[in-house]
Amino acid sequence: DVVMTQSPDSLAVSLGERATINCKSSQSLLHSSNNRNYLAWFQQKPGQPPKLLIYWASTRESGVPDRFSGSGSGTDFTLTISSLQAEDVAVYYCQQFYTSSYTFGQGTKLEIK
Amino acid sequence: QVQLQESGPGLLKPSETLSLTCTVSDYSISSGYYWGWIRQPPGRGLEWIGGIYRDGTTYYNPSLKSRVTISVDTSKNQFSLKLSSVTAADTAVYYCARSIAGQLLFNFWGQGTLVTVSS
């Protein structure tokens, strides 16, 4: 089973500053047939369902602000918020969609410093 | 834009079968995409349960496969989840969702429904 490990578990960043969340998978998520990384990022605010932000490791979902970006390949991935806004306070999850377990990371709680 | 709404009993006893239905609005299930279920125990992370295509082809998380059945009723524009032999560990918010094109990755989600398993 693919294990997804996020770091840190929680993060406090000042408004306007950069926030970086890491995600490591126990096996490569890069598919050789299409050279795509089967990795997604979600944002979840209290009392709401998760919202898809990024898939294929770096493709922004429609309507997602461009301050959100994803990078990485293989087993190591990063979600970056370039300039933190108050509405970005949430828990962020990575998810692999490479294998049939479609596992999520444990989540990273992002707060304002 | 597509809307999804979960419905079903909110309280079950151990060993019973959880049954939830997702009603889809503003999009026909018959038109495509994958449809699926994800759950989240209170205060914890997310677990992918499984998905189904319009033709009835199903995909299950191996860790739950022995207890899960997902079905689709295109005439009612609904799909359903059954989880047998529930225990307290199955207490969670259950979300139904629709996928992006061609992948079992969900980008439209219902608001979720809490199912509690307790004697």
What would the pLDDT profile of B10-33 be if each residue is shown by its tens digit? 999 999 999 999 999 999 999 989
> In Å, how far is B47's CA from the nearest CA of chain A?
7
Q: Which of B46, B97, B50 is nearest to A42 (CA)?
A: B46
Q: Quick check: A101 and B62 CB within 8 A?
A: yes
Residue B53 tokens read as 């295509």
Are B54 and B30 in contact by the 8 Å Cβ rule? The answer is yes
Identify the band that residue A86 occupies on the pLDDT scale cut at 50, 70 and 90. very high
User: Strand A90-96 vs strand A39-44: parallel, antiparallel, or unpaired?
Assistant: antiparallel
- Which residues does chain B have within 8 Å of residue A48's beta carbon, measured at their own beta carbons? 111
Q: Is A101 on the interface with B (CB under 8 A)?
A: yes
Identify the band that residue A67 occupies on the pLDDT scale cut at 50, 70 and 90. very high
Query: With 90 as the cut, is the pLDDT of residue B54 above it?
Result: no
Query: With 90 as the cut, is the pLDDT of residue B77 above it?
Result: yes
Return the exposure string of B57-82: e unless at least 16 CB atoms fall within 10 Å of the residue's CB, then b: eebbbeebeebbbbebeeeebbbbbe
- Give the separation between CA B63 and CA B12, rounded to whole angstroms: 21
* Percent of residues, chain B, with pLDDT higher than 90: 96
For residues A19-39, give the mean pLDDT: 97
- Give the separation between CA B47 and CA A112, rounded to whole angstroms: 27
